[in-house]
Amino acid sequence: QKEVEQNSGPLSVPEGAIASLNCTYSDRGSQSFFWYRQYSGKSPELIMFIYSNGDKEDGRFTAQLNKASQYVSLLIRDSQPSDSATYLCAVKRGNNRLAFGKGNQVVVIP
Amino acid sequence: KAGVTQTPRYLIKTRGQQVTLSCSPISGHRSVSWYQQTPGQGLQFLFEYFSETQRNKGNFPGRFSGRQFSNSRSEMNVSTLELGDSALYLCASSPDLSRGGELFFGEGSRLTVL
């Protein structure tokens, strides 16, 4: 089982719709969870982090964490063409190493 | 505030050579991490430094090494280069270990091994 899995293929969403991204992790000792956005040819940038079960909202972004089910999700409301990017889920494991998923590409269609 | 600076941005080496990459973190950030990014494997953790000490190391062979200086600047070295070492090497800094997942990445050093 991979440390961090992001299984969905490229996600195409119409402008103004909600994009939903999911991520599962294997280490139950994981404490901290992060979402990074990476534009093509650029380096990743942190957009959200969540440490406690439940929802955390920041502007158009909402991160959701369920430690019992070992998943974390990211919702992007009112999707804009500028949201077109690859979104990377990252999990700080019990050994303090940060593990990244392979990412989900989001394409927002005007 | 200046961001994370990595040099060189691009380099081409041949198998068997060695390479040294440099990273200057954001001013005031004391933790520096290094990652390798490839299309097939994604982002993989190499090592993390804090106060000149390696705090964590990923599952890479001993050919990959690094160090951190007293001014928090860091270097990583890859010896005896192999074709599979071709990748984007990303350096990231964070304010301290307790916020080690809140990373600020540099633009990366793209290494091509021929």
Q: B18-67: per-residue pLDDT in tens?
A: 999 999 999 999 999 999 999 989 999 999 999 999 998 999 999 999 99
Which residues does chain B have within 8 Å of residue A46's beta carbon, measured at their own beta carbons? 102-104
Neighbouring C-beta atoms of residue B36, cutoff 10 Å:
22
- Which amino acid is residue B110, in one-letter code? R
Return the structure tokens found at B28.
Answer: 């005031």
pLDDT, tens digit (0-9, with 9 covering 90-100), for A28-53: 989 899 999 999 999 999 999 999 99
Which residues does chain A have within 8 Å of residue B31's beta carbon, measured at their own beta carbons? none
State phi, psi for B72 to the nearest 5 degrees: 75, -10
Interface contact flag, B45 A99, Cβ < 8 Å: yes
Interface contact flag, B56 A32, Cβ < 8 Å: no
In the DSSP assignment, the letter for residue A70 is T
pLDDT at A106 over 90: yes
Rounded to whole angstroms, how far apart are CA atoms A37 and A89?
A: 9
**pLDDT on residue A96:** 77
**pLDDT on residue A108:** 97
* % pLDDT > 90, chain B: 88
B1, B14 Cβ separation under 8 angstroms? no
Q: Is the dihedral of CA B67, B73, B77, B83 positive or negative?
A: positive
Task: Tell me the sheet residues that pair with B22.
Answer: B7, B75
- Rounded to an integer, the average pLDDT of B78-93 is 97
Q: Nearest by CB to A98, which of B45, B90, B104?
A: B45
pLDDT, tens digit (0-9, with 9 covering 90-100), for B21-31: 999 999 999 99
Residues of A with CB under 8 A from a CB of B: 32-34, 36, 42-46, 49, 88, 90, 92, 95-103
